[in-house]
Structure 1
Amino acid sequence: MADNYWDNYWRERKSRRRFLGGALATGAGASALALVGCGDDDDDGGDSLATPTAGAQATATPVDPLAGAKKGGVYKIDAAGDPPTLDPYGNISFLTKGAAAAHYSRLFMYKAGPGIAYGSVRPTPDAAQSAEASPDGMKWTVKLKPNVKFHNLAPVNGRAMTTEDLKVSWERANSATSTNKPSAAMPVDKVEFPDASTMVFTMSKPSAVFLDVLADSNIFYIMPKEAFATSGGFDPAKMMIGSGPWVWNKYEPSVKWLRDRNPAWHNGGTAGAPFFDQVETSIIPEYANRLAQFLAGNTDSSDVNADDLPSLIKQLPNARIEARTGPTLSFTFFDPEAIASGFAKDPRVRQAISMSYDRDALMELGYNVKKLRDAGLKVETKWHNLVPAGETAWWVDPTGPEMGDAGKYFKYNPTEAKALLSAAGFPSGLETTFQYTANRYGKLFNDIAEAMIAYQTAVGVKSTTDVQDYSSKYITQTFLGNFKGIAFGYETPFPEAGSYLTRFFTDNPTNHSRINDPAMLKIAQDAASEVSEEKRKALFVQAQKLNAEKMFYIPNVAGAGTGWSASQANIRNATEFVTKAYGGYAEVVPFRWKG
């Protein structure tokens, strides 16, 4: 490997090799609040923050996003349900990850601020002071900030963070039971902790995504060593004690969370964020109830269905409305046995199912496109590919020329779908089971799932429907590939697009269909280490074309359209900033206030 490896990497990204410290709050604000995750973008999202691209009623962004910030008060929001566990290493649910971001720090996080678009957010130090790569990209040295303290709650009692905490957290993150291993996304040979503030990663090959993995709110949270103690510690499945912006106050399952301001937050900056004294998150499973609570002024921010947006704007003309486009991938997938040796082994079956879907009609069903456009609102109608439409730097338009002949498998063509099924040995169709969860992702997702069943039936794929509970069955079994037949769901909105390739095609517990395709595996591995933006983009094009040709995973349109959320008129920084994935409680909420 040439000595100028890392210089080339940053030259490609017009950046420096070293990420130096600096409080996030100094130049960062908040992104819009819309509680999603694996969740629906305009309905039952969950307890993490979404990603706006425009504000229909947005005010002009001030030069200083924190100018005039006022401290105090309670920020009242909602969540669609309870997390299956509070332990961020105990479950892959977006509800768990979103809650974890409030309490636990990461080494890096994503920097939001004026002019930083959703697709352009980059890692910035969180608990880390700096991260420096060797010239050949084979070693990373990460230094902790000296002022990171855990919350002043027993048994941790406000002590300083050290690499002892990093060591036990890293081991837990990479344990056999961990479903989002950092080492699965980057080639780490070993990790050393030479002193109380230094963590050294030695790589088997360079990683183009190292900082993104450390910033990913799905993956690596720093927990105090007391969370892993056999005695004298605390149970992380029942309580969260970290060093993040919000301190544990109370959690009443199916009722609410209360989180207090952390006055010692290391990213508070000179302005002293967080600004709210408390965040109150009401757990309200029913969308209609959440909307009613917002319209009555009982909550400060909430997601809004596209169908309800015109009437909300009419009723609350000064509400701060934010739009966000396509950060959450929806997809059809198959059980591993069906792919390996069963009905879905022949790619023509998978192609036929994809061609049975009328994606334009599904987009209209979910996103009320015509009515909103008639009302003068900008509504996106891009379709997801293997990479979601919101990842504009890496997404390939399924209808565009880059897809070549593979693009035909996205087009609605029931006649050809029937012909493909017949050619694959199912002239009279086939029977299977179709599973999805209907009690977490919301009406948009549910409507599209039900319509998909009808489309599949029309071409001969007849299914028994299994509507599953999200917490007890879907996220713990089906999402992990433990099911029979066909499933439909949302994929995690990864901050780094290469994580989609890693999730879908490498040897990890969340390879949903256990796809073992050498070509796709090589693309995923090459994309993780390729430092040239041009070459990396070519790999993403190749991956999306090859998946379309074989339709291992069938991308859909739920999550691809324009989703909406609203905040009361007095919530500052409600629409001006963006972030990715589940980190909003740290990257967003601390920088909001009422004024």
Structure 2
Amino acid sequence: MTDERARRRGDLWDRRYGRRAVLRGAALAGMGLAGAVALACGGGGASQPAAPAGPAAGAAPTGQVGQAAASLIGRSGSRPTEQPRRGGTLNWYMNGNSPTFDHHRSNSQLTFLPISPVLSRLYRFRVAWDVAEANNRAVEPDLAASIESPDAVTWIVKLRPEARFHDIAPVNGRAVDAEDVKATFTRALAPENPNRGLFAMVDPARIETPDRHTVIFRLNFPYAPFIKLISTGYYSWVLPREAVAGEYDPARKVIGSGPFMMESYTPDVGVTYKRNPNWHEQGRPYIDGAKIAIIPDPAQRLAQFTAGNLDFLSVPIEDVETMQRQNPRAEVIKNWDQGDGQIFFQLGDPNSPFQDIRLRRALSLAIDREAYGRVMCNNQYILGFWASQTLGKWALRMEHLPPEVARWYKYNPQEARQLFEAAGGTSLEVRMMYPIPNPREPWFGTAGEMVFNMLKALPWKQFSFVRVDYTRDWIAGGKGKWYGNFPSNEILWYGIQNRDDIDLYLYSFFHSKSASNTFRLNDPKLDAMIDRARGILNEDERVQAYLEAHKYIAEQMYGVAGMPNALIYQMVQPRVRNYLIGDGAGLGTSVWSSLWLA
């Protein structure tokens, strides 16, 4: 970060949001988006390149930016033309230990990244060189050879006969078959899975396996996005049936059919992988192996990349200029982040003070989003709601909101105070909770402190910013605060995790039957709107149905959104060739298997 930019940022924070935030901001200067590696790699799914609304390089906060925003994403390099080269070890990182390797027992990015090189899905998201193309989120076969459905209820999947699990006991290299798929999706619906609600359309008793290479899903209701669900790198990795039967513990041992085999995991050190010579996509991967180093310290990550010990880096906004200067040959990739900070309320408690929409609106009006965007996003951002703007036409934009709703997302401290006092806010003692360490720390913590200081201007009886442990308190094996287990005198500060389809955002966060409904919301009208959208086969009609549900959420202010959606910056060493993007949490399969080292 340049001295002038640092001075401007410090002045703004000191003048408007309190000395405490300034001091922490100085201590964390240059740490911007560190840790986003576990969340990034192309962002969420999209049908079209993003054409969002909101400020970008000084645009009005509620105006459409269109091509101005689209021009901010891209990459500095050119696609290689040479033939792929075999050999070498890729060097990656993550910022903390994995709480578990069992994706059916976790919602942590620190689970998804290390298992992604090892496991396979039925389908996966197609990676691409071009950033906008990657954001389109097209799918392609992985373990499946084909899929077809006559009515969005019956889905017939044919498996690749050549796909095999790794040659590791007790699986010992046997072929992947239909019973593995059935066992995996049956296990996904177990009560222990914090994401089980996303599979509500699947009835294990109605999964048929007429032969070893055919799986038939007969869903409980028409579900048009089913192919996206079985492509996601968050929920749909296929396990050997031996794991489901308890012959080994998938929380500790990872056996899959992917391009790499996990060799070792040492907490606080890292994970090592070796090439799977029997992967079903012959000739790949090109590299011999990979290492993920566990590097919690953002400054160390910057130093290790500059020293050539890391091949990839998610770069803090404020360090982009410095890192480019120090690494002039590295490629820079810019894309929209999956969505920045949001505020979550406890709405499952009928006595929660935040049942009063006046109080929720007061908090929204108290946030100066333009100042946040200038300080935290280098003035390059768009305003996002409850789905990543990389979803393009599926994502809600400010321009979709009627003026009488959009007004609640504009800074108005006077009206904020009036609503707050009218709703009885002056008697409240509330804690704003934030998890550490998390995959987006410390940038998110700094942003949270900025928002906290804006909200602190309201006349609370007491208002505090509290950090809790990400693994123990926030995730807690699907029982933590992130899953709605927090009292009504707490509000949560966090972001929307990268997901691959609009339904995985709106259903997951807001449907009463979702196990990951952080708000504990139960709104029959919204449930019906989401249920209707899920069953619409015509894509244009389905887009509109989801937008109507999303607008309703914004109108009700169930959480504070409409926040600046920043860019993420990635740097790739020049020795890494053909680095493609677009498969989110599946990067270890799709991205690593496609690149080679010079």
Match of 1:528 in 2: 534
What is the CA distance between 1:406 and its match in structure 2?
0.9
2:119 aligned partner: 104
Residue correspondence of structure 1 range 198-213 to structure 2 within 5 A: 198-213=214-229
Match of 1:414 in 2: 413
Number of the residue aligned with 2:433: 435
Amino acid at match of 2:220: S
Matched, 1:297 2:308: yes
Q: Shift in Å at residue 556 of structure 1?
A: 5.4
1:241 aligns with 2:247: no
Report whether the alignment pairs 1:538 with 2:548.
no
Deviation digits for residues 260-297 of structure 1 (CA, Å, limit 9, x no counterpart): 111111134xxx11111011110000100001100111
Equivalent position amino acid for 1:144 in 2? L
CA distance in structure 1 between the aligned counterparts of 2:340 and 2:161, rounded to whole angstroms: 38
Corresponding position of 2:187: 172
Deviation at residue 98 of structure 1 after TM alignment: 2.0
Note closer, same or farther for the CA distance 1:322–1:278 as it changes in structure 2 (3 Å cut).
same
Q: CA deviation at 1:223?
A: 0.8
Question: Any conservation in 2 of the 1:572–1:594 contact (CA below 8 Å)?
Answer: yes
Contact map agreement 1:48 1:97 (CA 8 A) in 2: no
Q: Which residue of 1 aligns with 2:352?
A: 342
CA distance in 2, matches of 1:512, 1:563: 25
Aligned-residue offset at 1:55: 6.9
Indicate the SS of the match to 2:308: coil
- The equivalent of 1:504 in structure 2 is 509
Instruction: Confirm whether residue 578 of structure 1 aligns to residue 556 of structure 2.
Output: no
Cα contact 1:166–1:222 (8 A) shared by 2? yes
Question: Could you list the runs of 4 or more consecutive aligned residues of structure 1 that deviate by over 3 angstroms after TM superposition?
Answer: 46-49, 52-57, 182-189, 401-404
Do 1:523 and 1:539's aligned partners in 2 also have CA atoms closer than 8 Å? yes
**What are the superposed Cα offsets for residues 157-192 of structure 1, whole Å, 9 maximum, x if unpaired?**
111111221122111111111122375364658211
Given the two structures, how large is their TM-score scaled by the length of structure 2?
0.85
- Identity, in percent, stands at 28
The residue type paired with residue 573 of structure 2 is Q
Residues 96-495 of structure 1 mapped to structure 2, 5 A cutoff: 96-115=111-130, 117-134=133-150, 136-181=151-196, 184=199, 186=201, 188=203, 190-230=206-246, 233-268=247-282, 272-338=283-349, 340-369=350-379, 379=380, 381-398=381-398, 400=399, 402-426=401-425, 428=426, 430-440=428-438, 441-461=440-460, 462-476=462-476, 477-484=480-487, 485-495=490-500
Mapped to 1, the partners of 2:219 and 2:75 lie a distance apart of: 47
Contact 1:330 1:556 survives alignment (8 Å): no
Counterpart in the other structure of 2:108: 93
Q: In 2, distance between residues paired with 1:308 and 1:81?
A: 21
How far 1:91 sits from its partner (Å)?
0.9
Read off the aligned partner of 2:496 and give its amino acid letter: E
Report the Cα distance in structure 2 between the residues aligned to 1:43 and 1:403, rounded to whole angstroms. Answer: 36
Distance 2:199 2:405 in 1: 29
Q: Does the CA-based 8 Å contact 2:409-2:562 persist in structure 1?
A: no
Report the Cα distance in structure 1 between the residues aligned to 2:522 and 2:515, rounded to whole angstroms.
13
- Please report how far the alpha carbon of residue 466 of structure 1 lies from its aligned counterpart in structure 2 after TM superposition: 2.0
Consecutive unaligned residues in structure 2, runs of 5 or more: 1-30, 44-69
Q: 1:107-137 CA deviation, whole Å, 9 max, x = no partner?
A: 1111113456243122211111111112x33
- The corresponding residue for 2:47 is none
Aligned to 2:54: none
- Do the aligned residues in 2 keep the contact of 1:193 with 1:200 (CA within 8 Å)? yes
Residues 45, 118 of structure 1: alpha-carbon distance in 2 compared, 3 angstrom cutoff: same
Please show how residues 548-559 of structure 1 align to structure 2 within 5 Å. 548-555=554-561, 557=563
Letter matched to residue 130 of structure 1: S
Contact 1:150 1:243 in 2 (8 A): yes
Q: Is the 8 A contact 1:186 1:209 kept in 2?
A: no
2:393 match: secondary structure: coil
Which residue in the other structure is 1:11 paired with? none
Give the TM-score normalised by structure 1.
Answer: 0.85
Q: Secondary structure at the match of 1:468?
A: strand
Q: For 1:155, give the aligned amino acid.
A: P
Distance 1:72 1:207 in 2: 43
> Quick check: 1:47–1:99 contact (8 Å CA) kept in 2?
no
Tell me the equivalent position of 1:58. 76
Q: CA deviation at 1:527?
A: 1.8
Contact (CA 8 Å) 2:94, 2:292: kept in 1 or not?
A: yes
Q: Which amino acid aligns with 1:393?
A: K
Deviation at 1:424, TM superposition (A): 2.0
Change (3 A) 1:533 1:429: farther
User: Do the aligned partners of residues 366 and 303 (structure 1) sit closer, same or farther apart at CA in structure 2, a change above 3 Å counting?
Assistant: same
Does the Cα contact within 8 Å between 1:41 and 1:563 map onto a contact in 2?
no
Q: What do residues 230-269 of structure 1 show as CA deviations (whole Å, max 9, x unaligned)? A: 4xx221111101101110111111101101111111134x
CA contact (8 A) 1:438 1:468 kept: yes
Distance 1:263 1:131, change over 3 A: same
User: Distance between the aligned counterparts of 2:185 and 2:202, measured in 1?
Assistant: 14
Q: What is the SS of the residue equivalent to 2:456?
A: helix
Query: CA contact under 8 A between 2:198 and 2:507: conserved in structure 1?
Result: no
Task: Name the CA distance, whole Å, in 2 between partners of 1:401 and 1:158.
Answer: 52
Q: Distance in 1 between matches of 2:539 and 2:203?
A: 22
Contact 1:55 1:321 in 2 (8 A): no
**Could you tell me how far apart the structure 1 residues matched to 2:258 and 2:175 are?**
13
Q: What SS does structure 2 have at the residue aligned with 1:591?
A: coil
Structure 1 residues 117 and 51: alpha-carbon distance in aligned structure 2, compared to 1, 3 A threshold? same
8 Å CA contact 1:70–1:593 kept in 2: the answer is yes
Question: AA paired with 2:484?
Answer: G
Query: Please, what is the CA RMSD of the aligned residues?
Result: 2.1
The structural deviation recorded for 1:49 is 4.7
Tell whether 2:591 aligns with 1:591: no
Matched letter for residue 260 of structure 2: W
What letter matches 1:44 in structure 2? G
How far is 1:106 from its partner? 0.8
Give the Å deviation of 1:429: 5.5
CA shift at 1:479, angstroms?
A: 0.3
Aligned residues: 531
- 8 Å contact from structure 1 (residues 104, 243) kept in 2: yes
Question: How has the CA–CA distance of structure 1 residues 534 and 242 changed in structure 2, closer, same or farther, with 3 Å as cutoff?
Answer: same
Q: Indicate how the Cα distance of structure 1 residues 402 and 345 shifts in structure 2: closer, same or farther if over 3 A, else same.
A: closer
Contact 2:73 2:336 in 1 (8 A): no
Gaps of 5+ in 1: 1-39, 370-378
Residue type matched to 1:473 in 2? D
1:495 counterpart letter in structure 2:
D
- Asked if 2 retains the 8 angstrom alpha-carbon contact of 1:403 and 1:545, the reply is no
Q: Is the CA contact (8 Å cut-off) linking 2:152 and 2:537 kept in structure 1?
A: no
Q: How far 1:405 sits from its partner (Å)?
A: 1.6
